[in-house]
Every structure is written in C-alpha cells, then in structure tokens.
Chains A and B, each alone.
Chain A
Amino acid sequence: MNKPATNKPTVHVVPEHTVEIITNSGEGAQKCAQIFGQTCAKMGNGVWTVEIIPAEIEPPHHTVTSTSGNIIRFGTEKVTNWGDRSKLAIAFNDQVCLSRHRLNSFDDDCIILQESLWENHEDEAIRKMYADAMEEMSSKNYRFIQVPIEEETLKVVDNPSHGKNMFALGLLAEIYQRDLSIIEKQIAHIFHKKPPKVTELNVQLVKNGMAWARENLDFQFDIETVPADETRVVMNGNQAAALGAVAAGMEMCAMYPITPATSVSHELAAIIENYGGIVHQAEDEIAAAGVALGASFGGKVALTVTSGPGMALKTEFLGLAIMTEIPLVVLDVQRGGPSTGLPTKVEQSDLLSSLYGQHGDAPRVVMAPRSIEECFHTMVTARRIAETFRCVVIILTDANLATGVQQFTKPEFDIRWQQEPIDFSPVPEGLRPYDWDHETGLSRRFVPGTPGGAHTVTGLAHDEFSNVSYHPDSNELGCKMRSRKLAVFQSTLMPPEVHGDQEGDLLVVGWGSTQGAIDEAVDRARKGGLKVSSCQLSFISPLEPGLKEIFSRFRKIMTVEINYSDTVGDPYITEETRRYGQLAWLLRAHTLVDIDCWTSCPGQPLRPNDIYNSIIAMSEKGASK
C-alpha cells in the first residue's frame, strides 16, 4: 500500500480524468460532486457526471449495498458520456470501495484516497471487514492513500457526517488545481438559505482538505481548461426536460412520483407557476394521465411524466388519447424492468412497450433525445408534433440522461416555441369533429367552447361526427386515418446523420442516451483502422426515412443498446430462438436487413471501451450481408 509523500507534487498533464466520490448513503457525495462538477464546468472543462444511487432509501451503512456517490468525468474537450474506468476515487470506507471494485469501476492503476479510520478501528469485526476488503482488492494495482477524513473534519465541525464531503472536495480541488473562489461561490449558493456560519464552515473544510492534500500528496493532475466563448448552463436531463417543458409553453404537468422521473416535476413545480402553469400530483399514474389528457382536451398544453411502471398503468388513457386524437406529450424516464425492476438504474427497455404496449392499433410518435441538451429541446418539438398531428408523443429518456450532468450552450428562448395552436374561431358549418383529410388523416381540433364545435367525445369507435359507430367501414377508416398521420409525419423527417464514413464494414446503430459512448467507441475503432461508422436515431416511431438505403452501404449493421438480448451459443439459444435487442427487433422488421446487436443491461450506462470491444468482436466475426 502506498503512503502519502511530503515532496513537491509531480504534476501529470492529462487530457481528461474520471473521478469517483463514494460514500455511504447520506454522507453528501452528491453535493461534493455537484460542486466539483460545476466548478470544472465553470473553469472551462467538458463535464459529465453520473450518480451512483442505491435503490433503498436508507441502506445499512458500511456495507457494499450502501454505496452512494458520483462519478465525474471531465476533460479539456467536450465530454459526452461517463467514459471508462475511474482514475481516482475518494472512498469514505472500505466496503463502498469494494462495491465499486467488484463492478470493475476502477482503472487498474486507480489512485484511491480512502478514509483511514477503519484500518485500526476498535471493533474487531470492522477491522476484519477492512482487511478482507483490502485483500480482495489487492488483485489490482490500485494505489491506496489513507486519509484521516473524519479526524480532519472533526477539527471544524462536531458531526463529521456533515462535513466530510467538503473536506473531500478540498482534496479534489488541490489535486486538480480548481479555482477556490468558484468553489466558494458554489458553496454560498447551495447554502444560501442557511445561516452564513454554515457556508463559512463548509469553506473552511474545503480549505483544510486542500491544505492536507498540499502537505501529504505527491501528485497533481493538470487538465487544461478552455474558457467558453458562449454562455453555458450546467444541469441534468430531468432539469433540462423541465425547463424545456416551460420553454415549450406547457401549461400543465400531471404526474405521480416515480424514480427516476420525479425530479422533473420537482423542477417544474418550482418554476411553472411563474409562467402560468401548474404541476398536478395525481393520486396515481392512471389519474395523472387522465388529468393531463383532460387538460389537453380543454385546450391546454399538457404533459405527463413517468417511468416504465407508470407507463404500464397509463396505457388505457394513452389509448383514449389516440382514439380521440387529443394531443398528449408523455415523458418516460426509463429505468430497469420489468415490474419495479431497477428503480434508480439505467436501462433502455421501454422501446417496444412504448411502440406497441397497447391493445388495438394505436399509432403514436416516439422520440429519444440523445443528450442532456436535447432533453431540453425535445420538449418544444414534441409539443408541436403532438398538436399538429393530434397524436400522442412519447419521449424516451433514461436514468443516464435524467441524473447525469453536462454543460451545454444556453438555449436562447424564442417566443415562437410557445405559439398557441388552438383555433377558437367558429367552426364552419358542416365541419365535423373528425373531418379527416383522407390524404393526410389530419383534421381540425375542436376545443370545448369553440362556437359550433360541440360534440361527444368517445373512446368507442366513432365516425367523423364523433358518433359511436360499429360499422365496418367506419372503424376501418378511423384506423386508416390515425395510421396515415404517422406516415405523413414521417414524410417530414430527414434521414439520420451517419457519424464517420458514409460506407464501410460496420454501422453501429443506437438510440437515445448512448450516442456519446457509441461515437467515442467508433472514433477509437476508426483510429485503429476499422471501417466503422455510427448512426444514432432520434425518432423511433415513425423511424427516420432512408434507413434501408443507409444500411445498404455497410457490410454489417449492429445495434448497441442498454437492454437484454440473447447470445447464440448459450444454452438453448440458437439463431432461431435468439431474442434481439429492442431496436434490433424493430429495425429487422422494418428493413428486412439481417441486423445484429450487442446489448447489455448492467443497470448503468454503457462504457465506450465495452462498446469498442463489441465492435472489435463484430469485426473479427467478419459477417457479411
């Protein structure tokens, strides 16, 4: 085990680093990481952070299951994903450290600043746990540095649980030479509602952490900062989606709390009333969908926010929205499933249920923002699509985008995003509530109160007058018109961009939040001489046009997704029994191209290196069309 040195530190210049702060739940790792990430971003580094959150609210401390924390990847260039393994970690105990080791989260030569309290703890059981953990981790070449985090914290505050995180922040500030004045401002901002003394103590802890690192560590890392020439904002995907909803002029968000979507409504609740809107917490997921649908029927711009289990419950009302052609935007922040699954973890497994989880024929638009920035902008577009095509628009983000933090160019608000779509002018005589244009399936939306627009709304099959009708022709026409709208909408889409060469041996196709990791892996493979490109889909239903033509330019197509697929060769798994990744299923059916897939569902974002390895494996397989 390495011990701290007192010599002048060696400064290592690196383009980027990934850092973990890992603690028991409730020890402030998120706050420490939040301030550190914000500071890096403000100084001009690219940043991406990922939360490590236990699913349980208060798991037992000092166990491998209690790990809470945050991963911060930051670098000179823009950072688009959480990267590969961590280069440096601050661990508040051996067990949380062990849990990350078991997940292969640390680089082989990772520097781990570990709380020194446990090695010689008075409790023999704890000493043994520590020794066992260190033994298990000795298989790697980690450099452990024992840091008296608690002891040093107690010099400033009485309760170390309310201060160790700030001491850790001080360690990071010194190691990465962060600007203390920015940190001080961040701390003051976070604790602005508390007495000034709280800010003073926290700043003092940071300073003590910096001093300790200065005196005891023999290394520093220099990651060049490039101050931005534009105004940027730093936030997570849920915050971005909430702000996007306000920018899009959404007036009502009906929801029921569900991880990891709840914070969208928290963000909205804090601001939406300033813009004339409301957040309604309904009694359950079903009611939330109903309230949003009712608001939309009444002429408001409505949104409902949920995650997979909530989507399952909302199904009935989504069907009603589709049948009645009432616009509705649904934000599904995906998590692991089925059932309650992995509440706080990342998965992209709601794709097919979003498309087809409905009885009857129920066409809807499904979109997938690919970055935190797009979480903001998607809301504007989704609203417009829903209103123009009188349809349900489902936005699929996931826990990776929802809780990850990234900086991006501050959106310049445009009032035209909020253009009011409702035509209250008297309905011309003879115009019917579903007076479909037989070519496009489009019809005018009648909002209650529109002179001459009174009609009965029904979830039953209906004719153009909105009268219940079981006539075979009537139902056929309704299905045709609702489906036609999707085709018409698809005609407004453009083929997706291909990242890299426009033709080659392998095209990696992804959707949603995996774009950053996929592009990084592809770039790495291309540097190694492989003819690989990537294509990230934003629209899943309808699919963007031209896919078959794009696929025809590559020898092999492979989707990369965070969901489950079988591996041929596993027991009972053959080409015939194999189940594919969800996008792969869809693309195979849509294009009749023999598309392969590499998927993984570890409950965490994909790492570029893992994707890179799958690219190498697929290339070595050398399959042809």
Chain B
Amino acid sequence: MPFEERKAAALDAVRSRIDQFHSSLIVTSDQVRGLLSGTGKTPEDQNETLGFFAKGKMNMERFASFAPKGPSIEAGAEAPVRAAQEVLKSLMDEGDDLFVIKTVPGRGLGHQLSVRLAHIGRAFAAARVVALAKNDAYKEDKHAATLERFPYSEWNSSERALTPALVVEVSGEDFKPSAIVPLLDTNMKIVFNVTGDAPAAALSRVISPRVFVQQETGDENLEAFAAFNGIAVAAFLPDTAVSFVHDPSAGSTTYERFKSITFPKEVRKRAIGGISPAQQAEDYTLLESLSVPPEIAGEAASDPAGKLSAWLLSQTDLSNLSA
C-alpha cells in the first residue's frame, strides 16, 4: 500500500476517536461562548442580539426582560476565559493536522509524541481554566502556562478517557515503540506509518494483556483496530517485518489473542536505528514465543488428561498461525 494510502487508512481507522475529541471541543467551545455572552449585559448588547430587523418593530428592552438569563462570569474572570476560548478555537482550526505527527529524525519518538499530547492537552487545560475562572479560583501564575502546554502526565482519568488518536509518520530508524509505553493508558490509540527498513518485530515489546497491537505489512485494513475499545497500537511496516494482530478480546491467554501472525521469509541482520541484530532477534523470538500454543510435554504428555489437552489444542483453529 502506498504511503499516502496508508496515511488515509490510518486516519480512517481513528476517525471515530478524532470525531469524538472534536465533538468535545465544540461542546466546550459552545459552553464557553455561552458563558462569555453573559458578559454583555448593557441595554445596547441586549438590543443588538435581536438584530436590525427588530429595530422599530420591537421593544427590545421589554424583549430582553423575557430572555433567559444565561450563565455569566465576573468581569475579572473574562480574560482567562477568552484565552481559553482562543485555545479551543485554535485547536479546532487545526483539524486533522492536530492528530498527525510527522516526526523529525533523531529527536526521539517518545519525546515528540509527548510534545504533541501536551499541545492537545491544552483543550483540557482550557476547560479547567474556565471552571477555575467561574469559581474565582484561577491563578494567573499557576494556571496560565497550562494553556501553552498541558502534558499527558497531568491529564486526569476523565481527560485520558477522551484521549484522541494519533497518526505518526516515522522512519524505521526512529521507530522505537518502547518509548511510547508510558503513553499507553486508558484509551490511547496510535497508528504508526513507518518508512524505510524497520525492526521486524518492532511492536513485540508493547504487547500486554489489554493492549491491541497490530503490525501490518500488506494491504490488510485496520478494521479490528478501529473497532477495538481500549488501548491500541498499530503500525504499517515494510514487508520485511512480521505481520500480526494481537487482540485482547480474542482470549485470555497470550497465544489465543494472536488472531493472525505471518513471519517474513527472511530477516535482515543489520542494526537499525541503534538496535542491534541481537536485540532485534530477541524481539523476534519474544513474538514467536508469545504467539505459539503451548505444547504438552513431560509426564503430562503420556497421561490421559495430557493427551486430551493435546487433542483439544489440536482441534483449535490455528490455521492462520505459522511459525
């Protein structure tokens, strides 16, 4: 699949999460707008809300007496609320670009993702600032900076539940997924679009019981990734890599969760981005060991229960698993 198609597929796969985040931005923005509108309480303000058509036809002052008294804030709190509104607006204006990261070579994958999440986190900071301003608890020296940068580490569980998805364009040299492990919490979804050679089992180290992991080398889609409700990581890799799907919803033991796995015919033995062939081989072996069904050995292999277990395992459909 060409690079741009992969990018489009990646965005499609995280669309619902992006839409959800955008929707939250819009709703919050509406609320802030409503709050700010309450600051225009002069008769002139009230008159203008009715527009030019009403002039000479309506008693605007009287009309205003019936208009709902919306929420309002103290005049002193207006500035931070307006600043928060600007943040929300600027984030909305970024559209899909907000969620797409073109990594800069050599600057560290984890660092660059953290920077972007701190940028996105300004939305939550804005909501916090509004709430603080409404309650007269806003402190310029303490809270203003959060509108500039609000790191993932400071997001609370509710905010993490609203985590938008990221689409990351990265070269194989810089593709070190272990760096993103601290970010894999609650609802995080990340799709990597990897260019150039990459370690064959790059994502093996992020496999854990509740994390959906997919390495893709061909034209397979990300439907299962998109549908998964929880933490999920996917990567488009060159065809020298292993392709697999680790789906936590598929079973309780590790090998059951491997819904598919295809190993490449040949693994290149050279260092990629400072990861030695030995380290790559270790990751590869880890993946193999995680994905293969346990064999019944020793005494268990000769007793009836062991034989039955072995037979049951043999009846399990593992046709799309290969070693």
Contacts and interface: CB of A to CB of B under 8 A. Distances in A.
A378 B51 CA distance: 8
A492 B70 contact: no
A572 interface: no
A416 B66 contact: no
B66 A381 contact: no
Contacts of B54: 381
A204 B238 CA distance: 59
B48 A388 contact: no
B59 A492 contact: yes
A538 B27 CA distance: 35
A414 interface: yes
A422 interface: yes
A299 B51 contact: no
Interface string A537-581: 011000010000000000000000000000000000000000000
Interface string A508-541: 0000000000000000000000000000001100
Interface stretch (B31-39, B199-207, B276-284): B31-39
B304 interface: no
A388 B66 contact: yes
Interface stretch (A13-21, A352-360, A441-449, A471-479): A441-449
A417 interface: yes
A420 B37 contact: yes
Query: In this complex, which of B48, B50, B52, B66 has the most chain A Cβ atoms within 10 angstroms of its Cβ?
Result: B52
A358 to B, nearest CB: 24
Contacts of B53: 369, 374, 377-378, 380-381, 538
A389 interface: yes
Contacts of B92: 276
Nearest to B47: A416
A425 B27 CA distance: 13
B49 A384 contact: yes
A492 B49 contact: no
Given A384-B51, A388-B68, A414-B48, A492 B30 contact: no
Given A442-B66, A445-B68, A492-B58, A276 B26 contact: yes
Contacts of A411: 52
A248 interface: yes
B35 to A, nearest CB: 8
B91 to A, nearest CB: 13
A545 B189 CA distance: 61
Interface string A392-425: 0000000000000000000100101111111111
B62 interface: yes
Contacts of A374: 53
B71 interface: yes
Interface string B67-103: 1111100000000000000000000100000000000
Range class of the B interface residue count: 20 to 34
A69 B30 CA distance: 45
A498 interface: no
A180 B57 CA distance: 42
Contacts of A387: 68
A57 interface: no
A420 B40 CA distance: 11
B182 interface: no
Nearest to A387: B68
Nearest to A419: B37
A424 B52 contact: no
Query: In this complex, which of B40, B68, B70 has the most chain A Cβ atoms within 10 angstroms of its Cβ?
Result: B68
B68 A421 contact: yes
B70 A389 contact: no
A381 B30 contact: no
Interface string A90-104: 000000000000000
Given A423-B68, A423-B71, A492-B62, A538 B57 contact: yes
Given A381-B50, A420-B30, A425 B57 contact: no
A423 to B, nearest CB: 5
Query: In this complex, which of B36, B49, B60 has the most chain A Cβ atoms within 10 angstroms of its Cβ?
Result: B49
Interface in B11-47: 26-27, 30-31, 33-34, 36-37, 40, 45
A494 B57 contact: yes
A280 B51 CA distance: 26
B135 to A, nearest CB: 12
A56 interface: no
Given A420-B34, A422-B30, A380 B52 contact: yes
B63 interface: yes
A449 B30 CA distance: 13
B106 interface: no
Contacts of B60: 492
A553 B106 CA distance: 87
A419 B56 contact: no
Contacts of B63: 384, 388, 492
A583 B63 CA distance: 26
Contacts of B66: 388-389, 440, 442, 488-489, 492
A448 to B, nearest CB: 11
B58 A494 contact: yes
A544 B34 contact: no
A496 B69 CA distance: 29
B126 to A, nearest CB: 15
Contacts of A369: 53
A425 B71 contact: yes
A445 B70 CA distance: 11
Contact of B49 (A416, A422, A444, A491): A416
Contacts of B71: 423-425
A417 B51 contact: yes
Contacts of A381: 50-51, 53-54, 58
Contacts of A539: 57
Interface in A263-284: 276
Nearest to A493: B58
Given A388-B63, A424-B34, A248 B70 contact: no
B271 to A, nearest CB: 49
B50 A421 contact: no
Nearest to A422: B34
A497 interface: yes
A280 to B, nearest CB: 16
Interface in B187-206: none
A490 to B, nearest CB: 10
Contacts of B26: 276
Nearest to A383: B51
A440 B66 CA distance: 9
A449 B24 CA distance: 12
A416 B51 CA distance: 9
Contact of A497 (B34, B49, B56): B56
Nearest to B36: A420
Contacts of B45: 416
A422 B59 CA distance: 23
A377 B54 CA distance: 8
Contact of B70 (A299, A378, A422, A544): A422
Contacts of A379: 51
A-B pairs with lowest CB-CB distance, top 8:
A380-B51, A420-B34, A377-B53, A419-B37, A416-B48, A492-B63, A420-B33, A377-B52
Interface of A: 248, 276, 299, 369, 374, 377-381, 384, 387-389, 411, 414, 416-425, 440, 442, 444-445, 449, 488-489, 491-494, 496-497, 538-539, 544
20 contacts: A374-B53, A377-B51, A377-B53, A380-B50, A380-B53, A381-B50, A384-B51, A384-B67, A387-B68, A416-B37, A416-B45, A416-B49, A417-B49, A417-B51, A419-B40, A422-B34, A445-B68, A449-B27, A488-B66, A497-B56
